[in-house]
């Protein structure tokens, strides 16, 4: 199966980072910006880098944008430009559109005109950094969607000496245990006996409701 094709409108820090990252995974990336310096920065990484006005629908159509799977609108700080970028991609027929929003007002407007996903990079990164600094037992967390994450954590002291059956983690914290990390070999053991007592420094891998497991971790002793 061929990799998806991505078109990126706007090559500031956000857009250029996405362009370079996608290119590292051998995706086809068309990068567009009206600033020649921004285009030059990604030219060696992406499939094609073009200087031009990303709010000009005819310009985009001439590039064959309708063949692309995903459009990323990462245009500047002006709402009008963001809106035109999203509307142009929708009218041309790009099936999935991600847009960058400067603030909450931008986010509301871009969602209303049909962006499939709207991100606020600075706000979201600030929240992630804050949560990471609060973590006590969680050693790794990968978000699956808005509600659930795959989490690896050292067991809290409250769990030591108890069994998974006693803790009833699924009911209390929305946790489903996937396995236990053998800290000598670092291998993941997929079978965990629910009647075996948990020992200090045990590491478990789990799917969990992000907010519940993080809040528990922040507040645990």
CATH 3.30.70.1450 fits 135-219, yes or no: yes
Q: What is the pLDDT of residue 2?
A: 63
Q: What is the pLDDT of residue 221?
A: 53
Q: What is the pLDDT of residue 188?
A: 87
Q: What is the pLDDT of residue 220?
A: 67
Question: How far is Cα 155 from Cα 216, in angstroms, rounded to an integer?
Answer: 12
Kindly list the domain boundaries of the chain, sorted by start residue.
Answer: 5-120, 135-219
Q: What is the pLDDT of residue 170?
A: 87
Q: Is the pTM of this model over 0.85?
A: no
Residues of the chain with pLDDT under 70: 1-2, 76, 219-221
Task: For the sheet with 28-33, list strands across it.
Answer: 48-51, 28-33, 5-9, 70-73, 96-100, 117-119
Tens-digit pLDDT profile for residues 197-210: 999 889 999 998 88
Pick the CATH number of 5-120 from 3.40.50.720, 3.10.20.30, 3.20.20.370, 3.30.2320.30: 3.40.50.720
Give the Å distances, CA to CA, from 144 to 111, 141, 178.
21, 9, 15
């Amino acid at each position: 199966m061929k990799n998806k094709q991505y078109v990126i409108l706007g090559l500031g820090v956000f857009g250029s980072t996405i362009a370079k990252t996608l290119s590292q995974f051998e995706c086809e990336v068309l990068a567009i910006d009206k600033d020649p310096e921004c285009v030059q920065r990604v030219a060696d990484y992406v499939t094609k880098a073009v200087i031009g006005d990303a709010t000009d629908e005819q310009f985009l159509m001439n590039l064959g944008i309708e063949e692309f799977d995903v459009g990323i609108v990462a245009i500047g700080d002006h709402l009008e430009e963001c809106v035109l970028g999203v509307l142009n991609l929708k009218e041309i027929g790009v099936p999935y559109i991600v847009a960058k929003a400067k603030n909450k007002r931008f986010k509301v407007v871009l969602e209303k005109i049909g962006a499939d996903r709207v991100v606020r990079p600075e706000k979201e990164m600030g929240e992630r950094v804050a949560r990471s600094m609060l973590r006590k037992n969680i050693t790794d967390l990968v978000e699956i969607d808005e509600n659930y994450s795959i989490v690896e954590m050292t067991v809290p002291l409250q769990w030591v000496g108890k069994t998974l059956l006693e803790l009833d983690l699924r009911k209390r914290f929305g946790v489903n245990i996937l396995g236990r990390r053998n800290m000598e070999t670092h291998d993941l053991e997929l079978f965990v006996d629910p009647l075996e007592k948990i020992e200090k420094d045990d590491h478990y891998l789990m799917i969990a409701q992000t907010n519940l497991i993080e809040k528990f971790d922040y507040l645990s002793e």
